[in-house]
Structure 1
Amino acid sequence: MSHLIKIFPADISFSGESEKTLLDAALDAGIHLEHSCKNGSCGVCEAQLLSGEVRDAQESLITAGNNILTCSCHPVGDVSLQATYYPELAGQMKKITPCKVVSAEYVSADVLKLILRFPPTAQINYLPGQYINLQYQGVTRSYSVANADEKQGIELHIRNVPGGQMSQLVFGGLAANTLMRIEGPCGTFFIRKNDRPVIFIAGGTGFAPVKAMVESLLAEQTQRDIYIYWGMQQEEHFYSSLPQQWSSQYTHIRFIPVVSSDQGEWQGRRGFVHNAVVEDFDNLEDFDVYACGSPVMIEASRKDLMTLGLPAKHFYSDAFTVSK
């Protein structure tokens, strides 16, 4: 049975069924509500249920006045939500596209840079910062796109997850021209158009979408101040020299690498990566912050940076959840 789902304050509506989550119904209708992981881990898709009833992943009935996760709740009848909607993504439809491996390069001991190419007529039409679902030999995993221009194909940064199904498939040898598929574009992580200075906070391979977004800003010849905070456990884990090159070439870009381990001979910043931001700024009222990494890092960043005056609506995040 079809139900009417209304979104406020955008005042838009679409149809949904009890078998589909509210988020999936919205995306199928080409309506992009805020989301990231889609499995209930990150909390980015939280919305307020204004009217009607929904059932969550545990089949519990939730009534109006409560906050819900659109990625895991199904409508019981007609409902209305207060949720963030992105007109910038209007018309962007997720689709499955075949692709082939151009190269698979080990850029560190546990990170693979994978370059994929597509048929000449294929267009992904992603925004830098979004992610795709990589499909290979029956396994599907989500990875952020690490380059801004799809004419160059798609670049992915894949971390070797011990015991991970996709890791076991791609680490150890991927031949050129190996056939894969991607599904996308996905997510609502992208650069908002304004003149506010930007702080990027990346943990591990969370650098991938940051790389794509910085590339897009440079292509636009932006003069916005850009701060890149990249956290790794050890110095040798930093797998790209691009942030340092950018900071050397452009006066409006600053790169701050942060190592979390207290071992080794690292002479730079140590600790949790978001704490370096807290140490460097007294007031973040005029900034945009884009954080990408583990849900724990993102939640800590959100909480601590808002104490420095960062408006909640100017904190954007993409949570990386680990799948085996």
Structure 2
Amino acid sequence: MSFQVALNFEDGITRFIQCSPDETVAEASYKARINIPLDCRDGACGTCKSMCESGRYDGGDYIDEALTDDEAASGLCLPCQMTPHSDLVLRVPSSSAAAKTAAATHRATLAALTHHSATTVEFTLEVEDREALDFLPGQYVNIAVPGTDQARSYSFSSGPGQQRISFLVRTVDGGAMSGYLTDRARIGDRLDVTGPMGSFYLRDIARPALLLAGGTGLAPLLSMLERLAQHPAAHPVHLIYGVTTDQDLVHLDTLEDYAGFIPGFTFEHCVADAASTARNRGFVTGLMDASTLHDGDADVYLCGPPAMVEAVREHIAGLGIAPASFHYEKFTPAAARETARAA
């Protein structure tokens, strides 16, 4: 028997290794040719000190100078000493380059393409070596745009356990991937996928969780919900989904399905357009108060455009509440980034 250990490096690259209960994470890493920072191997120097964000383990033997009791209580650990009791997610304070590793590239085939609206497209890929493409729910990959020398970053909307991988994309005029998906994409096209990457991913649900999505920022939260559907949490999870117009709403039926079989999961949606027929008109902040945040005893996951992310952060600060943890991902269309750089 072995456990899966996700090593998330400070540059966002994630590598997965297998580790048996009788070997240390550092030993398993080196077997996989991943050189995490290490000096003593004896729990004496603290060089390999990392943060365990998910899972159970035996911390092993070490001296206080390498890892204090307070640090251990906060989730810090020494990979050179720890042995797993379950799957683990470790945040390693080193770049992937320093560990002499890199994100892998996988060949994939376009298997499905759905135009939800004039501005929202969903596409699904079949990956040749699907078993080799592990990821944490919430992470993203870089996808090469066929017929160009460009690539775009998209969060998985599918869960890690699903055979096919899916993505939810907002199309923009002049966008490289937007042009491909709108005008040229054909089922059977070949694409290269590189990853996984990103530090925005679902941690262990140790308290109530609030998920906030703006537009196609719903994608990584769908991946998280698929994970929770397979491994239900013991705490309530609430999602607030906001869009600009009624035409931007997607996957409400999927959210209804999740609400039916994920214990403790609820959701609301809102539309900014005053002409909307939605029950809630306005922004996600209008559906957030102290009770939604459990007076701070909540983990917040937020994905949306920069303006939304900043508005939510200001709103929470205005409530005088500091969530137990706050994880967020901003997304900006590549065309907008290039325009900003030119300006």
Does the alignment reach a TM-score above 0.5? yes
Deviation at 1:258, TM superposition (A): 0.7
- What one-letter code is carried by the residue in structure 2 that aligns with 1:321? T
From 204, 226, 235, the equivalent of 1:193 is 204
Deviation at 1:109, TM superposition (A): 2.8
- The more displaced of 160-169 and 286-295 is 160-169
Give the whole-Å Cα distance in 1 for the aligned partners of 2:180 and 2:290: 41
Tell me which residue corresponds to 1:110.
119
Deviation at 1:237, TM superposition (A): 1.7
Q: Are 1:97 and 1:122, in contact at CA under 8 Å, matched by a contact in 2? A: no
Give the whole-Å Cα distance in 2 for the aligned partners of 1:271 and 1:128: 28
- The more displaced of 89-98 and 205-214 is 89-98
Q: Are 1:30 and 1:93, in contact at CA under 8 Å, matched by a contact in 2? A: no
Deviation at 1:321, TM superposition (A): 1.2
Give the whole-Å Cα distance in 1 for the aligned partners of 2:13 and 2:162: 30
| SS of match in other structure, 1:188 | coil
Q: Are 2:237 and 2:266, in contact at CA under 8 Å, matched by a contact in 1? A: yes
From 194, 197, 217, the equivalent of 1:206 is 217
From 292, 297, 304, the equivalent of 2:308 is 297
1:155-210 deviations in Å (ceiling 9; x for gaps): 01111112212101111342222011111111001111142111100000000000
Tell me which residue corresponds to 1:217.
228
Deviation at 1:103, TM superposition (A): 1.1
| SS of match in other structure, 1:297 | helix
From 79, 85, 91, the equivalent of 1:86 is 91
1:210-269 deviations in Å (ceiling 9; x for gaps): 000011112112232011100011123211121122224445111110111112333x11
| SS of match in other structure, 1:222 | coil
Tell me which residue corresponds to 1:256.
268
Tell me which residue corresponds to 1:146.
157
| SS of match in other structure, 2:132 | coil
Give the whole-Å Cα distance in 1 for the aligned partners of 2:266 and 2:130: 38
CA gap of 1:153–1:251, structure 2 versus 1, over 3 A, is closer
Give the whole-Å Cα distance in 1 for the aligned partners of 2:14 and 2:265: 37
Give the whole-Å Cα distance in 1 for the aligned partners of 2:230 and 2:93: 19
From 104, 108, 128, the equivalent of 1:99 is 108
Runs of 4+ in 1 over 3 A off after TM superposition: 22-31, 87-93, 248-251, 279-284, 306-313
Give the whole-Å Cα distance in 1 for the aligned partners of 2:13 and 2:201: 22
Give the whole-Å Cα distance in 1 for the aligned partners of 2:13 and 2:232: 37
Matched, 1:246 2:258: yes
Q: Are 1:201 and 1:274, in contact at CA under 8 Å, matched by a contact in 2? A: no
CA gap of 1:188–1:24, structure 2 versus 1, over 3 A, is closer
Tell me which residue corresponds to 1:287.
298
Q: Are 1:283 and 1:309, in contact at CA under 8 Å, matched by a contact in 2? A: no
Larger strand proportion of the pair: 1
Q: Are 2:296 and 2:324, in contact at CA under 8 Å, matched by a contact in 1? A: no
TM-score normalized with structure 2 length = 0.65
- What one-letter code is carried by the residue in structure 1 that aligns with 2:182? F
TM-score normalized with structure 1 length = 0.69
From 282, 288, 292, the equivalent of 1:271 is 282
**Number of residue-to-residue matches in the alignment:** 252
Q: Are 2:212 and 2:284, in contact at CA under 8 Å, matched by a contact in 1? A: yes
Amino-acid identity (%): 25
Deviation at 1:282, TM superposition (A): 6.8
- What one-letter code is carried by the residue in structure 1 that aligns with 2:141? I
Q: Are 1:112 and 1:158, in contact at CA under 8 Å, matched by a contact in 2? A: yes
Give the whole-Å Cα distance in 2 for the aligned partners of 1:274 and 1:307: 11
Matched, 1:180 2:191: yes
Matched, 1:156 2:167: yes
Tell me which residue corresponds to 1:41.
none
Give the whole-Å Cα distance in 2 for the aligned partners of 1:227 and 1:121: 31
Alignment RMSD (CA, Å): 3.2
- What one-letter code is carried by the residue in structure 1 that aligns with 2:277? E
Tell me which residue corresponds to 1:123.
132
- What one-letter code is carried by the residue in structure 2 that aligns with 1:244? E
Tell me which residue corresponds to 1:60.
none
Deviation at 1:108, TM superposition (A): 2.6
